[in-house]
Structure 1
């Protein structure tokens, strides 16, 4: 009897435990039917603080910095689309610094995500003032050779550049030097390495490049038929993509056979060689006075100026090559397809540069 009683007791306990387990499982199923495993995010709040914003400076202090405080119920991560860049964060605190100079309006799209990938979004806009500041410059204030940490050289015959130029480019002090606060690139009529002229082509490739901003040169141009000074830019990917897929931006181009006229042009696939993307402006006394030649470049446009007078606006877009890093070039060519016939009385000429500056 005692044995049977023990069996009954054990059986009752086992049945009771099975009942509890069943009820627990059943209750869990009922709960999952009524309450989602990952509740959808809700109540998205985005607060945008413009650093340095005051009544006197409603668009900020010029730093371009904004701080975002983001919060949403049931969210574990956020995505922020700002200044055409997508940022993914897990914290609700986010800071960003705009770099394009001037006062502009930007949209900010914030999405909050739960663990199941559901999201809720909010769009806002902000006005930001970014003060212009120098990213890179050479003031050419130390006599001697150009700064080797900033400039390298293309050397060799001019016809190697595809323009049928007549010079041989060197890095010799006879052709390039700094004195009295300015850079001098000197073209010389002389027999050298099979060419009849020498000059210099210097560039920042591998040392400095940038994407978007303002590039400017303050320069005095050479005199003489056949001279062809230039300040321009090429895409960093030229070695892999080639020209014109890399893109080319000519900020200053002038020829001695048509003095006091500046050409600003862009070259890209299908629009190279005799590109239709070009404009000219008259620059009086360009060989006797310094003038500032500049391009302001953004994802939307490239604007060309002489002495801060806007004379050409190119509409940029995502389909052009002008949305990557570019490096700078200074050179003085002789003759060629654009430079034209060299004056038979030419002996030498100097392309004089006060400074080169790149701003945000």
Structure 2
């Protein structure tokens, strides 16, 4: 009898061990946002820069804009591309700048808040070349630069095999805070086209390259001022730049240089 009861207990214990265990709860995956295309330019009209969308960037005194020019030969729309040039100035009698560059922006014409931006382009290379795609605040909600932040979707230097994608703000520049991580470098196809992108969300900015995330900059809890000013509308800048303290001096023997932009697209969340 004892042996029979002992055997039954063993069978019950084995059966209990075979019962399925309740699986641990899995964290819910955040749903990917659904996007609606709201603005684009694919540069299909040869010889025509759509001035309802773009303006030529005027010259300024900073490293990035001190060679900007409205000269027509710096801007080409042909074969479905916008081509922006950087050249040695061959008419110093008309303009004293040593070099000339072309750049366009959507300032006062189009801006986006909480959206996705992508630009497909092929970058030229030269010693001192510094092509960039980036964004600035339209309405300057928080005051003077850099309090409204700057989003550098792509910056390329010289003959590098990588591009930089960077966040700038009062928090990063004036307060010199590097946490959260504010920039990354990403390898590119130097010979071909790449698609450079950024997504704006209420709680984060996400950089992308060829559709894949490369860096997420989140909004965090902090007592320091200006960590996440990206809750406002931003306009877009596309420009060929030459020379400066970061990229270094220009070698005129490596010019001219050009950047070919296939298309620009902007989506907003549905």
* TM-score, normalization by structure 1: 0.59
Counterpart Cα distance in 1 of 2:253 and 2:243: 14
Counterpart Cα distance in 2 of 1:352 and 1:240: 34
What's 1:77 paired with? Answer: none
Deviation at 1:319, TM superposition (A): 5.2
What's 1:271 paired with? Answer: 172
What's 1:151 paired with? Answer: 54
RCO higher in structure (CA 8 A, sep ≥6): 2
What's 1:119 paired with? Answer: none
Deviation at 1:151, TM superposition (A): 0.4
What's 2:9 paired with? Answer: none
Corresponding position: 1:300 with 2:203: yes
| Pick aligned residue for 1:281 from 172, 186, 190 | 186
User: 1:41-100: per-residue Cα shift (whole Å, max 9, x none)?
Assistant: xxxxxxxxxxxxxxxxxxxxxxxxxxxxxxxxxxxxxxxxxxxxxxxxxxxxxxxxxxxx
Counterpart Cα distance in 1 of 2:142 and 2:177: 22
Q: Would you say the 8 A contact 1:166–1:196 is kept in 2?
A: no
Please, which runs of 5 or more residues in structure 1 have no aligned partner? 1-101, 105-128
Q: Would you say the 8 A contact 1:235–1:327 is kept in 2?
A: yes
User: 1:254-302: per-residue Cα shift (whole Å, max 9, x none)?
Assistant: 1114x2211000111131288741111111x32x201101111101111
Corresponding position: 1:262 with 2:167: no
1:275/1:264 CA distance change after superposition, 3 Å: farther
Counterpart Cα distance in 1 of 2:108 and 2:231: 18
Q: Would you say the 8 A contact 1:145–1:176 is kept in 2?
A: no
Q: Would you say the 8 A contact 2:119–2:262 is kept in 1?
A: yes
Q: Would you say the 8 A contact 2:101–2:240 is kept in 1?
A: yes
The structure in which a higher percent of residues are strand is 1
What's 1:58 paired with? Answer: none
Q: Would you say the 8 A contact 1:155–1:200 is kept in 2?
A: no
Q: Would you say the 8 A contact 1:134–1:359 is kept in 2?
A: yes
Q: Would you say the 8 A contact 2:59–2:65 is kept in 1?
A: no
Counterpart Cα distance in 1 of 2:75 and 2:247: 20
Counterpart Cα distance in 1 of 2:118 and 2:195: 7
| Pick aligned residue for 2:251 from 340, 343, 357 | 343
Counterpart Cα distance in 1 of 2:255 and 2:66: 13
Q: Would you say the 8 A contact 1:210–1:326 is kept in 2?
A: yes
What's 1:358 paired with? Answer: 266
What's 1:72 paired with? Answer: none
1:244/1:166 CA distance change after superposition, 3 Å: closer
Corresponding position: 1:245 with 2:147: yes
What's 1:93 paired with? Answer: none
1:166/1:355 CA distance change after superposition, 3 Å: closer
Counterpart Cα distance in 2 of 1:275 and 1:138: 36
Corresponding position: 1:174 with 2:60: no
Corresponding position: 1:200 with 2:102: yes
Counterpart Cα distance in 1 of 2:204 and 2:142: 25
Matched position secondary structure for 2:262: strand
Matched position secondary structure for 2:172: coil
Please, which runs of 5 or more residues in structure 2 have no aligned partner? 1-28, 221-225
Computed over aligned residues only, the root mean square deviation of the Cα atoms, in angstroms, reads 2.4
Counterpart Cα distance in 2 of 1:298 and 1:142: 33
What's 1:214 paired with? Answer: 116
Counterpart Cα distance in 1 of 2:137 and 2:128: 27
Deviation at 1:337, TM superposition (A): 2.0
Counterpart Cα distance in 2 of 1:319 and 1:239: 14
Counterpart Cα distance in 1 of 2:151 and 2:201: 13
